[in-house]
Amino acid sequence: MKRLILIAVLLLPIHIFSQSWLTREDTYWFAGTGVDLRNATIGGTVNDASYDGTFSIGYRNVGFSILAYYETFQAIEYESMGINPGFVLRPGKRLIPAGDISLSFIRRPWKTYPSLAFNARLEYHFDRFFVYLRGENRWRTDYDFYQISVYGGICIKFGFN
């Protein structure tokens, strides 16, 4: 009986560590693109409807996520780029909430400004890609106010374990 308990105690960690928290759904690289939904459809506070797009590349490992992004909005001569470290809730599931902080710069024709944003994402995952909605609360240091935006997009997963 003691041997059986000893074997169970030794094998249980192996069984646990081989399970879903280190599966291919939890660790991968991704690349994606998205648009500001309001600016694309009805326009913003200072512009008519036009393209405001983002491009990103990132890495996800279980509950940790990091991505680098570039945003271009030519209608108002706005660019933004940054790095977003964050966390992932429910890794490996189909519907995944995530959050991050954006350490970034806003570049305008007259000057470059540091910026900070807080993002909340809701992602729906398929085998090789996912779609997302992202709410952003950005400190617009180029005009010194906070702005809330909503983005939608798609990301392709690659580099599975």
pLDDT tops 90 at residue 47:
no
Confidence label for 153 from pLDDT (cuts 50, 70 and 90): very high
- Please indicate, yes or no, if residue 8 is contained in any of the structural domains: no
Closest CA to 52 of 70, 30, 71, 65: 71
Per-residue model confidence (pLDDT) at position 5: 46
The answer to the question of residue 45 being in a domain is yes
Residue 147 has pLDDT above 70, yes or no: yes
The SS3 assignment for 17 reads: helix
Lowest-confidence pick of 19-28, 56-65, 87-96: 19-28
By the 8 A CB rule, do 119 and 100 touch? yes
The verdict on residue 140 lying in a domain is yes
Domain assignment present for 15: no
> Residue 64's domain is classified under what CATH number?
2.40.160.20
Residue 106 has pLDDT above 50, yes or no: yes
What pLDDT score does 14 carry?
Answer: 39
* Domain interval for residue 132: 25-158
User: Band of the pLDDT at 136, cuts 50, 70, 90?
Assistant: very high
pLDDT score of 71 more than 90: yes
- pLDDT higher than 80, residue 52: yes
Residue 4 within a domain:
no
Confirm whether 84 is domain-assigned.
Answer: yes
Q: Is residue 18 part of a domain?
A: no
Structure-token pair, residue 100 = 């991050």
Q: What is the pLDDT of residue 13?
A: 43
pLDDT at 9 over 60: no
The total number of structural domains that make up the chain = 1
Count CB-CB contacts under 10 A for residue 57. Answer: 14
Tokens of 64: 């940790």
Range 43-59 average pLDDT: 93
pLDDT score at 18: 39
Contacts of 124 (CB under 8 A, 6+ apart): 94, 95, 96, 130, 131, 132
10-19, 36-45, 110-119, 127-136: segment of lowest average pLDDT: 10-19
- Confidence grade of residue 24 (pLDDT, cut at 50, 70, 90): low
Please indicate, yes or no, if residue 89 is contained in any of the structural domains: yes
